[in-house]
Structure 1
Amino acid sequence: MKKLLIALCAATLIAPAIQAEPAAPATAAQGVLTVKSVYSVDETVERLKADIASKGIKFFTEIDQSQLGAGANITIRSSKLILFGNPPLGVQFLSSNPYSGLDWPVRMLVVQEADGSVSVAWTDFGFIAQRYSIKNRDAQFKMASEVAASIASSTTK
């Protein structure tokens, strides 16, 4: 019991130091695409959801990561992850490589940056194709890329 209390105290002291370290932004070379939203996190999420619905794409869920952090007594900037997709399209990727299910359905992250601005980020579909060595779905990856960029652009105007 004493060891557990010491470990918990140490974790409590270390956690703020870990959180204070500035995060390096992900880059397109790492497969992450981003756009700056001109809206708040909540309004950005609502605009994304509206655009997804207008395109007839299935919306699966929204995860409020900052709320999850609060539940663990860790404060993070506002961050929401949304999952959506077109099952007839996404299943084609899964049929090429079932491990691509790690990246499907599509995910977009809406995050408040340290300077207060809001960004929308998602994984580049070309990167996903390379990651899972999917070579027989170029047209589908191109379509998915164009649709994701279009959805993200709904937050920039």
Structure 2
Amino acid sequence: MLKRSILALAVLLAPGTLPLAGIGAPQGVGGEPSAASENGIVKVRSAYAMAETLDRLQKDIAGKGIKLFSVIDQARLAEEAGIKLRPSTLLVFGNPALGSQFMTSNPVAGLDWPVRLLVHQDESGGVWAAYTDFRTIAQRHGIRDRDAAFAKASEVIASITSSVAKH
């Protein structure tokens, strides 16, 4: 796992890493977008039920050597408060060697790090994974000196959500 983290950091710091401007929407089969982006939120429709989606995402995160900080079952918490909520779980994860770079540019960026990936079920039973587009985070915090790090983060989250994407 340490080797993977070191390798990921080496790739991140390597010359020629893609600039942030070159990162587009996640691509599916045949170059078709597998995600919808609206108001800086990227939404990826899952091909799986809620439990399997969560399981696949967590396995993919672990398989990449990324630290899973928290799994928050928002529907259960709502139920405990007497509120009915469709299934909704927030995954909080990240690689401190990557995410901390954003906070060195602007400490307030810590509001958006570590990464948050919301997995929720819509009114028709469809399951979605949603996250804030990293370009939006860069703009919100006025970070202009971490294009390579944001590009890497975008690549990683697109890879993670592709593990469940409906094509």
Please, what TM-score do these two structures have when normalized by structure 2? 0.76
For the pair shown, which has the larger CA radius of gyration, 1 or 2? 1
Distance 2:117 2:102 in 1: 18
SS in 1 for 2:150: helix
Q: Which has the higher contact order (CA 8 A, sep 6+)?
A: 2
Matched length: 131
- Equivalent residue for 1:94, pick from 96, 100, 103: 103
Equivalent residue for 2:54? 45
After TM superposition, the score normalised by the length of structure 1 is 0.81
5+ residue gaps, structure 1, are 1-26
Matched, 1:68 2:77: yes
Counterpart position of 2:149: 140
Map Cα deviations across residues 44-82 of structure 1 (whole Å, 9 max, x no partner). 111111001111111111000000100110001000000
Distance in 2 separating the partners of 1:127 and 1:156: 22
Q: CA deviation at 1:31?
A: 1.0
For 1:76 and 1:29, locate their aligned partners in 2 and report how far apart those are by CA, in whole Å. Answer: 23
2:123 to 114, 121, 124: 114
Identity of aligned residues (%): 54
- Residue equivalent to 1:10: none
Instruction: Give the whole-Å Cα distance in 1 for the aligned partners of 2:59 and 2:104.
Output: 29
Higher fraction of helix: 1
The amino acid of 1:101's aligned partner reads G
Letter in 1 for 2:154: S
Q: Which runs of 4+ in 1 moved over 4 A?
A: none
Computed over aligned residues only, the root mean square deviation of the Cα atoms, in angstroms, reads: 1.1
Note the residue ranges of structure 2 that are not aligned, 5 or more in a row: 1-35
Residue range with higher mean Cα deviation, 28-37 or 103-112: 28-37
State how far apart, in whole Å, the 2-side matches of 1:131 and 1:156 are. Answer: 27
Q: Secondary structure at the match of 1:28?
A: strand
